[in-house]
Chain A
C-alpha cells in the first residue's frame, strides 16, 4: 500500500460477523489492488495493522452481520466517522448464514454448542468475549447504509468496480453487478 498523503481519499474495511470471504474477494483483485492503491489510503482494515478507527474515512466496506454487542458498538463508531458506508456481501446485506441462528433463542444455541456434547469442561464462555445479540441483523437495520453490494462473496470484479466508482465520486449501479447468493 502506498504512503498516506493528505490529498488522497481514505478507505477502511471492517470485519463484523462473516467468514472473511468478502475480504478474500478483495484480495482476489490481485494486481488491480496495486493500481487502486495509488488512488486511496487504506486507513483501517483487518488486512493491515491499524488499531483505531480514524476520525474521518471516505469509504468504509463492511463485511459481516451485526451479531454481538461488539459488532453493534463497532458499526455505530464506523458510521459516525464514515462518509460512504458500503454493506459488502450477503452477511452485511441480509444477515445471511450468521442470521440462520435467529429462529433459535441465544441461550438454547449456546447450550447446544457448549454443553451436553460430551465436552470435558462444559462452560459457556462469558469473560472478555462479546455477548451475542438476541437477533443477528443486517447492517442497515442498525445504521444507515449508503451502498449495498450483495453476493456471497461479491466477485473481485464487482468490488473493483464499486471501489473505482466510489473513488471517482460516483454511486455504483450494483444491480447489474451482483445478486444475493452469487
Chain B
C-alpha cells in the first residue's frame, strides 16, 4: 500500500479547510459545503476539465484553474464566486444554449436538466449570442433508449461511464470543434451496436435530455447519476 497522502490546509472563500493531498479543490470545497458549479464532472468518473464552469481563482496566479482537476496545495487561497468567474460562467452557459437546439419546453428533461438548472442558478433570462440552429439528427434506433443530438452538450459523461464503468466503450466522439458528434461504435445506429449492453448507465448520467429512456417520455422521471458512487464503493469494498 502506498503511504497516505499528507493532509493540507487551505483557504476556500475565506473558510479554513483541511483536505487530503490527493483531493481536488472541487472535492475539498464540496466536502465543506462550498458549492462550485459543474457539468462535465460526475463523482465516480475520471475528470476531463472540459466544461470550465468550475474554474476558480487562486491567489497569486492570474490563470484560472479548473477545481475538478487541480489538486489542493498547502496554503492555497481559493475564491470560487468572484464577479469575473460568474460572468464567465454565464457566458459559457449562454454559449451552450446557442450552440445547439435546446428547446426546454418540449424537452423530455424539462425541469430535470442540469443545463437548465445552471442557467437558473446563474440568473440567465436570455441568450445574447445568435443561435446557431444546426441541423442535427435524432437516433431512436435503440429499442429502449434514444439520442437527441440537439440537446447534447458534449460533456462526454456517457463516453466515460460506458468506457470506465460498463467497460463497453460504445460511445465516443466523431469530428472536432462545433462539428463534434457523439457516436456509437463506428458511427452506426445505436440500435445496431454490437458493443452496447443496453445497461442504460449513459442515460442515467446524461445531464440533459440528449440521452433518454423512450418509455419515460413525458413521465418526468428524474435521472439517477448517484448510482456511480455506490458502484465505486462496492468495488472498493470487494477489493
Contacts and interface: CB of A to CB of B under 8 A. Distances in A.
Q: Do chains A and B touch in the complex (CB under 8 A)?
A: yes
Interface residues of B, number: 25
Interface stretch (B63-71, B78-86, B102-110, B223-231): B102-110
Nearest to B115: A180
Interface of B: 97, 101-107, 110-111, 116, 119-120, 123-128, 130-131, 133-136
A97 B125 contact: no
Given A99-B101, A175-B125, A181-B104, 13 more contacts: A87-B126, A100-B103, A135-B133, A138-B131, A140-B126, A140-B128, A152-B104, A180-B104, A180-B105, A180-B116, A180-B119, A181-B107, A182-B110
B133 A152 contact: no
A97 B134 contact: no
A97 B104 CA distance: 9
B103 A96 contact: yes
Nearest to B131: A95
Given A87-B126, A93-B125, A141-B130, A104 B104 contact: no
A82 to B, nearest CB: 18
A102 B131 contact: yes
Given A175-B124, A179-B120, A180-B119, A103 B101 contact: yes
A96 B110 CA distance: 13
A145 B128 CA distance: 11
B105 A181 contact: yes
Contacts of B105: 90, 96-97, 152, 180-181
B111 A182 contact: yes
B96 to A, nearest CB: 12
Given A149-B125, A175-B124, A179-B116, A103 B134 contact: yes
The size bracket of the interface on A is: 20 to 34
A34 B107 CA distance: 35
Nearest to B130: A141
A174 interface: yes
Contacts of A140: 126, 128
Interface of A: 87, 90, 93-97, 99-100, 102-104, 135, 138, 140-141, 145, 148-150, 152, 174-175, 179-182
Q: Which of A90, A141, A179 has the most CB of B within 10 A?
A: A179
B116 A103 contact: no
Contacts of B110: 181-182
Contacts of B133: 99, 102-103, 135
A100 B106 CA distance: 10
A175 B120 contact: yes
A156 to B, nearest CB: 17
A157 B177 CA distance: 42
B135 A94 contact: no
B90 to A, nearest CB: 11
A148 B126 contact: yes
Contacts of A102: 101, 131, 133
Contacts of A96: 103, 105
Contacts of A182: 104, 110-111
A97 B111 CA distance: 17
B5 to A, nearest CB: 41
B126 A150 contact: yes
A180 to B, nearest CB: 4
A95 B102 CA distance: 10
A162 to B, nearest CB: 11
Given A103-B135, A175-B120, A180-B119, A94 B106 contact: no
